[in-house]
Amino acid sequence: MTRTVPVQKNDYIEAVFEDLTHDGAGVAKVDGYPVFVPGGLPGERAKIKIIKVNKGYAAGKLIEILERSHFRIEISRENAHKYGGCQIQHISYEGQLKYKENMVKQVLTRIGKLDDVKVHPILGMEDPWHYRNKAQVPVGEKDGKLIAGFFKPRSHEIVDTDESLIQIREVNEAIQAVKNIADKLGIPAYHEESHKGVLRHIMARYGKQTGELMVVLITKTPDIPHKNQLVEQIIERLPHVKSIVHNVNSKRTNVIMGDKTTVLWGNEVIYDYIGNVRFAISARSFYQVNPDQTKVLYEKALEYAELSGEENVIDAYCGIGTISLFLAQKAKQVFGVEIVPQAIEDARRNAELNGIENAEFAVGEAEVVIPNWYKEGNTADVLVVDPPRKGCDEALLQTIIEMKPKKVVYVSCNPATLARDLRILEDGGYKTIEVQPVDMFPQTTHVECVSQLILKEGN
């Protein structure tokens, strides 16, 4: 018998929100039928307009809140544009942490069937604002002036933003300074529709521990009008700038950076520290945007690895070697794998920079390289994975199960794929001991976790 959908498009209904989705929308139910509404919070009663109806769920718009959650905070209309990309900025930080911790517990139970795993209280930030050390903002024109900021949701309309509340203040200052200087010099913005103009994006990167700043100018054209004046005025306005870089992207594309990068002034890299490990950061380097919480996350990964100095460790998806170099301080030998050649170059450079000689890095897919190592007789005592959002490839998980490292440390940016992969490893002979959520990205729905697994006796 076909179930009748209890709401129709353009209906106005009253409902109580019971939960939040993985992207922060409120979940209300009408006769068991879910309605997803951005902005709604659990426990709130609200008036909702139904804007889309599917067989399995409806999407709604929040019209009026009739009973408020004590976790709700008000955001003035004047400040709303400062929260670009912040899906849950309307929730107090206490409420955000509770939501993320509950989300981790729910997916471990629902997807991983891991009811008995200890999930520790989430590790949040003392100050959950102004934490991002990198911004890359699109540039446009409005009323004859340059604007730079965020795209409106589901559009390519730029909202001019003088400050982002999640960017480090020095990054905000750099973006504004470059925009204003370029505007006064008459450097035209790039126009997506006509594929004409010059300045596409402004990027700023900041080393929080070193105070070093990099400015990257991303243009459609190989030449920048008034380039020398632009560089001189950036140096004058931003005394802590150490590097000014020019990247050319002449293609019709949504990809931000092009292939050609040159240094206009200063150094090719800036430096920063995570803990006592020093990192060189180029315009194209992947580097964690919240190094304070990255230190928290990686210290927990190091703790879960329980290294004595005698272990061989494999770090799958090693990136620029961030975790590898932490582990190398306590391990006998670390082998890192990463598919991006530039990242491996950075990893090797960072190992040299820190005088670390017991870390080796290979370019390739973890799910190809590590099985090949295993076939050649190379095994690991501890295996660390930090995969992209899609989780670990099945071939890698099967290799882990066959290789039988005593411990697996799983660092994850997606609780759902973490739960799925933990279930596969559990079925293959591992026991998940504990999971530690870490809030790397306050004001957003993202949550990182680090999990410790040990090989069960008899496997």
Q: Which residues are catalytic?
A: 413
Q: Name which of 419, 423, 357, 411 is nearest 385 in CA terms.
A: 411
Task: Give how far Cα 82 sits from Cα of 124, 149, 164, Å.
Answer: 21, 9, 5
Give the separation between CA 71 and CA 84, rounded to whole angstroms. 20
Q: Name which of 188, 185, 175 is nearest 146 in CA terms.
A: 188
Task: Give how far Cα 132 sits from Cα of 204, 440, 456, Å.
Answer: 11, 10, 40
- For residue 121, give the 3-state DSSP assignment: coil
Q: Which residues have CB under 8 Å from 239's CB, separation 6+? A: none
Residue 288 contacts residue 322 (beta carbons within 8 Å) = yes
- For residue 178, give the 3-state DSSP assignment: helix
Give the separation between CA 374 and CA 385, rounded to whole angstroms. 16
Question: Which position has the token pair 């005025």?
Answer: 233
Give the separation between CA 381 and CA 330, rounded to whole angstroms. 13
Altogether, the residues listed in the chain come to a count of 459
- For residue 226, give the 3-state DSSP assignment: coil
Cβ atoms < 10 Å from Cβ of 310: 9
Determine the angle formed by the axes of helices 394-403 and 366-375, rounding to 10 degrees. 30
- Residue 408 pairs in a beta bridge with 383, 453
Give the separation between CA 324 and CA 341, rounded to whole angstroms. 16
DSSP letter, residue 80? G
User: 45-49: which pairs have CB atoms within 8 A and are 24 or more residues apart?
Assistant: 45/14, 45/15, 45/16, 45/17, 46/14, 46/15, 46/16, 46/17, 47/12, 47/13, 47/14, 48/12, 48/13, 48/14, 48/15, 49/10, 49/11, 49/12
